Amino acid sequence: MGDDRTALDHDEALRLLAFLLSSAEGCLKEPLIYGVYRLGTAAVQLAEAWQPRANSETAGVLRELTAHWQREAGLLSHDPAALKAFLQDANVAIADEIHRQSGQGA
């Protein structure tokens, strides 16, 4: 924390904040399932901004998350169970990375 190499720059943070706030507003008037898509998209935006500054192991996790989201986001309308499985796997991958970085292993 506090490492400028991993922090979002001003423009990245502002764009992500704007996306999150407009998504929250959109969730008030759109079908609830769109919130899943919006949150996943925000996570990918963060991953894309962070990846160039991350260490090689974390960058690999972020690249994989981003690539998979690009493929899996389309499942929202026709295969929500597969999207749910992807999101569960993505959460496990991020948790594993947290454990790896904290020295606890995965």
Confidence category of residue 106, pLDDT binned at 50, 70, 90: very low
pLDDT at residue 74, rounded to an integer: 81
- In sequence order, what DSSP letters do the residues of 17-72 get, joined into one string? HHHHHHHHHHHHHS-THHHHHHHHHHHHHHHHHHGGGS-HHHHHHHHHHHHHHHHH
Q: What is the mean pLDDT of residues 28-57?
A: 91
- Nearest C-alpha neighbor of 83 from the set 70, 96, 74, 95: 74
pLDDT at residue 1, rounded to an integer: 42
pLDDT at residue 6, rounded to an integer: 62
- For residues 9 and 62, the model is more confident at 62
Quick one: tokens of 105? 């292993």
Q: Give me Rg for the CA atoms of the chain.
A: 15
